[in-house]
Amino acid sequence: MLEVFFLGTGGIMPTRERNVPSIALRYRGEIVLFDAGECTMRQMNTAKLSPMRVDKIFITHFHGDHYLGIPALIQTMNLWNREKPLHIFGPKYTFQFVQNLLNSGFFRPGFDIHVHELGETRLKFGDYEVWSFKVEHGIPALGYVFKEKDRRGKFLKEKLVEYGLSEGPILGKLEKEGQIERNGRIIRLEDVTGPRRKGLKVVYTGDTKPCERVRLFAERADLLIHEATYLNPKDRGESYHSTVEEACETAKRAKVKLLALFHRAFRYSYREYVEEALQICEGLGVNAVVPKDFDVITLKSGTWELKSILEEKQ
Ligand SMILES: [Zn+2]
Ligand SMILES: [Zn+2]
């Protein structure tokens, strides 16, 4: 199970109803942050997500709406006597940003900050990987894929009986070693398990013009969080952003299961945007949602659910 918390869904500048971008993925107790716009710490407090559970922050690019919340996050971690290191990942200029931050004022965290400047790469972390890919935003900018590792299929009872495997320890050994020898016969894990289960895949574009790399990396994703700043090309003008229709077309071509439209411009009210956006998506046959701040999408293999944390509290 994977939970995607939308801490800030607006773009460019905050409004009364929505904060600037930040997405928190909660997976097996860990919180992984993707972008941290201004006031992300406050949004985390409201969502009851502790920054002490954050070890990794992935920044898409250095426009203020995507990273200015990092100083406050570090400050809070420091106030809470954090000791474990924090890893900040991002495109070119991430080193420079962290260095400038640590040289500003009397800002001295008591824990280590490790900086990782990325191009297109695959990072492996235990049960999941994060892949970075280049997008088109006029400045160095990355999108990210969070990919849960594929898991083995379920043990098949009838196969276990057939091979005479019933004891727990022998199954543990089979799982660990991939194969075992029993009465002179080799039994492989695949012989007694069903088809492998695909790990969940969530893709976040950050800010970008429509871009072929997104389609490639979002292939068959469970969730594509695509920026869709504008409702139409006229509003977008020459800026390096996407329209709803362009985000939908990419989602359709990549055969994603669910599209979340993100980073809508402050000029649109939620109601105005959501009505038109969902109509466009429906017209293209794309399964889409427009998350508000504090909405959470819970993904399990093959299913998803969207709920607001705020409504839950009432
Ligand atoms: Zn932005
Ligand atoms: Zn931007």
Distance 190 CA to ligand 2 centre (A): 46
Average pLDDT over residues 181-197: 90
Together in a domain, 297 and 181:
no
Same domain, 75 and 180: no
Question: pLDDT value at position 312?
Answer: 61
User: What spacing in Å lies between the alpha carbon of 72 and ligand 1's midpoint?
Assistant: 19
Query: Same domain, yes or no, for 47 and 114?
Result: yes
Q: What is the pLDDT of residues 54-101, one digit of tens each?
A: 999 999 999 999 999 999 999 999 999 999 999 999 999 999 999 999
Same domain, 172 and 256: no
Mean pLDDT of 149-168: 87
**Catalytically annotated residues:** 65
Q: Is the pLDDT of residue 306 over 70?
A: yes
Which of 176-185, 218-227, 266-275 is predicted least confidently? 176-185
CATH code of the domain covering residue 130: 3.60.15.10
Distances (CA, A) of 261 to 11, 66, 133, 213, 230: 11, 16, 19, 18, 10
> Average pLDDT, stretch 235-252?
96
276 three-state secondary structure: helix
For the chain, what percent of residues have pLDDT higher than 90? Answer: 83
For residue 271, count other CB atoms closer than 10 A to its CB.
Answer: 8
Residue 207 Cα to ligand 2 middle (Å):
5
165 and 252 co-located in one domain:
no
What single-letter amino acid sits at 290? V
Residues 46 and 185 in one domain: no
Distance 204 CA to ligand 1 centre (A): 13
The ligand minimizing its distance to the Cα of 137 is: 2
Å from CA of 39 to ligand 2 middle: 17
165 and 242 share a domain? Answer: no
Same domain as 184, residue 62: no
Provide the residues around ligand 1 (an ion) whose CB is within 5 A: 11, 65, 207
**In this structure, what token pair is assigned to residue 264?**
């809508």
Single-letter code of the amino acid located at 73:
L
Query: CB 307: neighbour CB atoms within 10 A?
Result: 13
Q: How many angstroms does the Cα of residue 64 sit away from the middle of ligand 2? A: 8
Per-residue pLDDT tens over the stretch 196-234:
889 999 999 999 999 999 999 999 999 999 999 999 999
The range of the structural domain enclosing residue 221 comes to 2-151+197-313
**Closest ligand to Cα 138:** 2
**For residue 264, pLDDT beyond 50:** yes
260 and 115 in one domain? Answer: yes
Q: Which residues pair with 30 in a beta bridge?
A: 27
Q: Are residues 105 and 29 in the same domain?
A: yes
Sorting pLDDT into bands at 50, 70 and 90, what band is 184?
A: confident
Place of tokens 């000029």: 267
User: For 165, phi and psi rounded to 5 degrees?
Assistant: -110, 110
Q: Using CA atoms, how far apart are residues 95 and 242, in angstroms rounded to an integer?
A: 28
- On the question of pLDDT at 171 being above 60, the answer is yes
Number of domains in the chain: 2
Q: How far apart are the first and last CA of the chain?
A: 25
Would you say 294 and 17 are in contact if contact means Cβ atoms under 8 Å apart? no
- CB 58, CB 32: distance < 8 Å: yes
Q: Are strands 22-27 and 2-8 parallel, antiparallel or unpaired?
A: antiparallel
Ligand nearest to the CA of residue 63, numbered in listed order: 2
Residues 64 and 174 in one domain: no
Give me ligand 2 centre to Cα 51, in Å. Answer: 24
Beta pairing class for 121-125 and 223-227: unpaired
Is the pLDDT at 314 greater than 50? The verdict is: no
Confidence of residue 274 (pLDDT cuts 50, 70, 90): very high
Q: Which listed ligand is nearest to 66 at the C-alpha? A: 1
Q: Is 133 exposed, middle or buried (0-12, 13-18, 19+ CB in 10 A)?
A: buried
Distance CA 214, CA 205 (A): 7
Between 7-11, 54-58, 180-184, 285-289, the lowest mean confidence (pLDDT) is in 180-184
User: In sequence order, which residues have a C-beta less than 8 Å from that of residue 38 and are 6 or more positions away?
Assistant: 14, 19, 20, 64, 65, 68, 69
3 state SS of 125: strand
34 plus 168 within the same structural domain: no
**Domain's final residue, options 191, 213, 243:** 191
Alpha-carbon separation of residue 256 from 220, 252, 288 (angstroms): 5, 7, 10
What whole-number distance in Å separates Cα of residue 191 and Cα of residue 10?
A: 50
Query: Nearest bound ligand to CA 227?
Result: 1
Alpha carbon of 81 to ligand 1 centroid (Å): 31
